[in-house]
């Protein structure tokens, strides 16, 4: 008797996603295929090919394993194509390729504008260019090559270019970061795969396609950003660097054009606004033009440094002596004694604390890593939530002024020469200015100045950081080590404003499509790029109306 449920389809091929394939860290080359065959054995299928789609490291209980997910192409031999109950790690899978949902009409003659070349702007411009819309891209800073020179000069001398720096210029602020490519955003249209494959095609390592905690690193981001720009240009896109959006032209609640550098006018009826969270002058101009915005929760704090070896020991335990493991990371969160949230952000294994100022007489810190994460120190931001009621005095720019006040204080206690104020953790906890480094030396890009960082903050932030550090030490042994270094101020983790938009991604001004971190709708490279693609889709639909 033939119990095969699909009569006449004995040669049918299907792909199954097999997850939770757990193997020893140092497993041999044949172990993965054997493990997959064992998991699929109840289905009685012939394995034709295996494609790894996810890889992660599980280092719990001092035992290190590699955990895979794989897409397995199979052919029916005998038995069932249906998955029996109980095989929860096996599902039928069909790969969905990204398809831009709008086909350009001949009547859609006006070219869309994209403002900003961070992840949101860059990927918005890419999909528009790939689908025949020939976008014009405005970036207030320089191309990546010139931008790097100006950043290096600032780190060495304190000579700041307010339009081309760690925040502004080709690639946006994320270009000089750890380049994390993970996101909690769900997407079933293939956009996330589109972003990752575009990065690989532009020169990023192929392993980002499968790594559970994928990152590019600032070195590969520079390459990828430049190559994506070249692809957009080859497809008909046009980049204008050193070109700052300074005004909007509006007729009957609709966009008709933009002013650039207070001098040049460009006609358009569709603008993807991907300005980034540091374009404070642009926020103000938008407000003056009546564009609806609302204050939102954001976070501020300090960046903390530990030896990478300390973090590895805490995370891997005794397994570190038996295996050659990659630099480990962490992600921690807690509540302060008042119930306010405190958490780590933008953790950079083997990375550097960097001077990320973008305005005169203000200091800002951030973190970055190269792809190999080979630096001696690990660093991360420790951030405390700030709510509108903490800063709201009745003006939409109050959150930005709250950030600026902290950045001015950091500039002053850093010696008023763009040196970042730094302090040993033990001194911070006891409220005394640091005089010398202990056993941990800073891994920093830019100059440093010893200070007491308690003088930076309102009491609830300083105490929140201290509460967080003590709580994190219970989760990650050694986190509260006295020689750990704190650097301030970390004030640009997110925007204090959200530019309001409808379900069609348009703002209160028809034809204006705010997106990404600066608009308040994203929190990292992937979520910003994803939001930028969605904004581009909406923009294309508007042009085709």
Contacts 24+ apart (CB under 8 A), 209-213: 209/53, 210/52, 210/53, 210/54, 210/55, 211/54, 211/55, 211/56, 212/54, 212/55, 212/56, 212/57, 212/67, 212/182, 213/56, 213/180, 213/182, 213/329
**Percent above pLDDT 70 for the chain:** 96
Between CA 182 and CA 36 the distance in angstroms is 26
Written as one string, the DSSP assignment of 309-365 is: HHHHHHHHGGGGGTS-PPPP----EEE-TTS-EEEEEEEETT-EEEE---STT---E
Would you state the structure tokens that stand for residue 11, as one six-digit string? 């040669």
**pLDDT at site 2:** 34
Lowest mean pLDDT among 4-18, 20-34, 400-414: 4-18
Beta pairing class for 13-24 and 65-76: antiparallel
Q: Which band of pLDDT confidence, cut at 50, 70 and 90, is reported for residue 3?
A: very low
**pLDDT at site 4:** 37
Between CA 137 and CA 313 the distance in angstroms is 46
Residue 382's φ and ψ, nearest 5 degrees, are: -110, 115
The more confidently predicted of residues 80 and 368 is 368
**In angstroms, how far is CA 128 from the centroid of its own chain?**
22
Put residue 426 in one of left, alpha, beta given phi > 0 → left and psi -120 to 50 → alpha: alpha
Q: With contact defined as beta carbons under 8 Å apart, do 440 and 377 qualify? A: yes
pLDDT reading at 344 higher than 60: yes
Comparing CA positions, the residue from 53, 285, 234, 243 lying closest to residue 138 is 243
DSSP structural state of residue 496: S
Q: Which distant-in-sequence residues (6+ apart) come within 8 Å of 289 by Cβ?
A: 247, 248, 250, 509
Would you state the structure tokens that stand for residue 349, as one six-digit string? 């294994």
| pTM of the complete model | 0.94
23-32 pLDDT tens trace: 999 898 899 9
Q: Which band of pLDDT confidence, cut at 50, 70 and 90, is reported for residue 77?
A: low
306-337 pLDDT tens trace: 999 999 999 998 888 778 899 999 999 999 98
- The whole-number average pLDDT for the span 271-283 is 97
The partner residues of 354 in beta bridges, in order of sequence, read 366, 445
The more confidently predicted of residues 57 and 87 is 57
Tell how many helices (H) and how many strands (E) occur in the chain.
12, 24
pLDDT reading at 107 higher than 80: no
pLDDT reading at 1 higher than 50: no
Q: With contact defined as beta carbons under 8 Å apart, do 217 and 372 qualify? A: yes
The average confidence (pLDDT) of the chain is 93
224-245 pLDDT tens trace: 999 999 999 999 999 999 999 9
Would you state the structure tokens that stand for residue 177, as one six-digit string? 């970061």
State the alpha helices, DSSP H only, in 75-182: 119-130, 144-157
- The whole-number average pLDDT for the span 211-220 is 95
Lowest mean pLDDT among 60-64, 352-356, 383-387, 525-529: 60-64
- The whole-number average pLDDT for the span 275-301 is 96
**pLDDT at site 188:** 84
Classified as helix, coil or strand, 198 is helix
151-180 pLDDT tens trace: 999 999 999 999 999 999 999 999 999 999
Lowest mean pLDDT among 30-34, 184-188, 224-228, 476-480: 184-188
**pLDDT at site 81:** 56
Lowest mean pLDDT among 40-49, 185-194, 294-303: 40-49
Classified as helix, coil or strand, 110 is coil
**pLDDT at site 45:** 83
Q: With contact defined as beta carbons under 8 Å apart, do 369 and 352 qualify? A: yes
351-383 pLDDT tens trace: 999 999 999 999 999 999 999 999 999 999 999
Q: Which distant-in-sequence residues (6+ apart) come within 8 Å of 149 by Cβ?
A: none
Q: Which band of pLDDT confidence, cut at 50, 70 and 90, is reported for residue 11?
A: low
Domains of the chain and any CATH numbers:
13-92 (3.30.70.2700), 113-294+502-543 (3.50.50.60), 297-490 (no CATH)
pLDDT reading at 439 higher than 80: yes
């Amino acid at each position: 008797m033939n119990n095969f449920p699909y009569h006449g389809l004995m040669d049918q091929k299907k792909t199954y996603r097999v997850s939770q394939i757990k193997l020893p860290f140092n497993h041999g080359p044949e172990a993965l295929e054997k493990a997959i065959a064992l998991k699929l054995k109840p289905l009685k299928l012939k394995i034709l090919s295996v494609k790894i789609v996810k890889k992660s490291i599980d280092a719990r209980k001092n035992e290190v394993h590699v955990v895979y997910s794989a897409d397995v192409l199979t052919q029916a031999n005998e038995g069932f194509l249906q998955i029996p109950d109980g095989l929860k790690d096996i599902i039928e899978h069909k790969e969905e390729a990204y398809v831009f949902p709008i086909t350009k009409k001949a009547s859609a003659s006006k070219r869309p504008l994209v403002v900003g070349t961070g992840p949101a702007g860059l990927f918005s411009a890419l999909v528009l260019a790939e689908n025949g819309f020939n976008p014009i891209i405005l970036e207030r800073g320089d191309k990546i090559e010139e931008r790097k020179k100006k950043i290096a000069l600032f780190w060495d001398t304190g000579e700041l270019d307010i339009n081309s720096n760690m925040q502004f210029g080709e690639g946006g602020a994320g270009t000089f970061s750890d380049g994390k490519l993970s996101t909690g955003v769900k997407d079933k249209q293939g956009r996330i795969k589109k972003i990752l494959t575009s990065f690989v095609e532009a020169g990023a390592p192929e392993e980002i396609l499968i790594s559970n905690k994928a990152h590019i690193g600032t070195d590969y981001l520079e390459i990828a950003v430049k190559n994506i720009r070249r692809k957009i240009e080859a497809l008909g896109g046009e980049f204008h660097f050193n070109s700052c959006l300074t005004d909007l032209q509006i007729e009957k609640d609709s966009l008709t054009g933009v002013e650039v550098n207070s001098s040049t006018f460009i006609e358009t009826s569709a603008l993807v606004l991907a300005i980034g969270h540091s374009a404070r002058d642009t926020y103000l101009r938008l407000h003056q033009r009546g564009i609806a915005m609302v204050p939102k929760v954001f976070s501020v704090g300090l960046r903390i440094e530990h030896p990478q070896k300390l973090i590895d020991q805490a995370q891997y335990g005794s397994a570190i002596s038996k295996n050659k493991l990659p630099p480990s990371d962490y992600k921690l969160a807690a509540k302060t004694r008042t119930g306010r949230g405190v958490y780590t952000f933008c953790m950079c294994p083997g990375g550097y604390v960097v001077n990320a100022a973008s305005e005169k007489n203000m200091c800002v810190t951030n973190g970055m890593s190269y792809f190999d994460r080979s630096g001696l120190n690990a660093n991360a931001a420790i951030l405390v939530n700030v709510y509108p009621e903490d800063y709201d005095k009745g003006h939409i720019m109050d959150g930005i002024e709250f950030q600026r006040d902290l950045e001015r204080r950091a500039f002053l206690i850093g010696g008023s020469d763009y040196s970042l104020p730094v302090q040993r953790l033990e001194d911070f906890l006891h409220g005394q200015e640091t005089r010398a480094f202990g056993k941990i030396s800073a891994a920093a890009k830019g100059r440093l100045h010893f200070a007491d960082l308690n003088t930076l903050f309102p009491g609830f932030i300083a105490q929140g950081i201290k509460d967080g550090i003590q709580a994190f030490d219970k989760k990650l042994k050694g986190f509260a080590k006295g020689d750990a270094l704190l650097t301030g101020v970390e004030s640009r983790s997110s925007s204090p404003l959200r530019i309001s938009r409808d379900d069609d991604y348009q703002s209160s001004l028809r034809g204006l499509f705010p997106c990404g971190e600066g608009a308040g709708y994203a929190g990292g490279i992937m979520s910003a790029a994803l939001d930028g693609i969605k904004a581009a889709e909406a923009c294309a639909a508007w042009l085709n109306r």
